[in-house]
């Protein structure tokens, strides 16, 4: 019970302050301050001053935003070595190439390079971000 005694003081102090406020009269009435000038943001230009009888001044939100500057996304130049073609297997219409130790067909990707075509002695790679093409021959062992 003793631990809760400080918490009982909070409502008692609040009620005492409310009671004392009703006995004390304010010396002067509160007044709304008048504003003679407002510093407008530079994006608004020269604001037109209107009398207060016309109602509130409406400002578009786009006038308060910073100017839009188009940003071009930078495409990082990815420098990866060309994949190594170890072998090519052609059986009928099926073409498979062994590239960096993996069997790959047309359309599969290895890093930034995609296999575009497989011929009996070379493979065509297309680099995905720039779109450049490179032929890689079968390495002799």
pLDDT tens per residue, range 65-116: 777 777 777 666 656 788 899 999 999 889 999 998 899 999 998 888 899 9
Measured over the CA atoms of residue 76, residue 79, residue 82 and residue 83, the dihedral's sign is: negative
Task: Round the average pLDDT of the chain to a whole number and report it.
Answer: 79
Give pTM, 2 decimals.
0.44
Could you tell me the two tokens for 44? 């608004």
pLDDT at residue 141 in the model = 41
Q: Which residue has the tokens 């062992």?
A: 141
pLDDT at residue 65 in the model = 77
More confident residue, 62 or 97: 97
Q: In the predicted model, what is the mean pLDDT of residues 31-52?
A: 66
d(CA 87, CA 122): 9
């Amino acid at each position: 019970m003793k631990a809760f005694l400080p918490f009982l003081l909070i409502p008692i102090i609040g009620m005492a302050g409310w009671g004392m406020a009703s006995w004390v009269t304010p010396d002067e009435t509160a007044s709304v301050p008048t504003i003679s000038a407002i510093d407008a943001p530079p994006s608004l230009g020269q604001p037109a001053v209107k009398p207060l009888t016309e109602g509130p001044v409406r400002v578009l939100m786009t006038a308060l935003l910073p100017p839009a500057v188009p940003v071009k996304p930078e495409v990082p130049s990815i420098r990866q070595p060309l994949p190594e073609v170890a072998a090519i297997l052609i059986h009928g219409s099926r073409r498979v190439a062994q590239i960096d130790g993996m069997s790959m067909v047309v359309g599969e990707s290895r890093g930034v390079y995609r296999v575009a075509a497989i011929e009996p002695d070379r493979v065509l790679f297309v680099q995905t971000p720039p779109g450049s093409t490179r032929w890689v021959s079968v390495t002799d062992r």
